[in-house]
Structure 1
């Protein structure tokens, strides 16, 4: 039936996951480089 559609949905969600995790990592690295100790504490609270 719609196997190609399912594959498209899976790859699309994987791409979205990669993009979001990358942006989060970049954002965290940028904030951490500005104020290291404050941001590590805030990041640990979020986890």
Structure 2
């Protein structure tokens, strides 16, 4: 899932298409949503 960089609107179209824009504001900058997962790493 991707979100627009300006208006935070979720992108519903195919992200792999060339030349996509946000339907709401026309921005071409998108961010991939990451889950909030805490990672624990053991030291050696």
TM-score normalized with structure 1 length = 0.19
**Structure with greater strand percent:** 2
1 or 2 for the larger relative contact order (CA 8 Å, sep ≥6)? 2
**Structure with greater helix percent:** 1
TM-score normalized with structure 2 length = 0.20
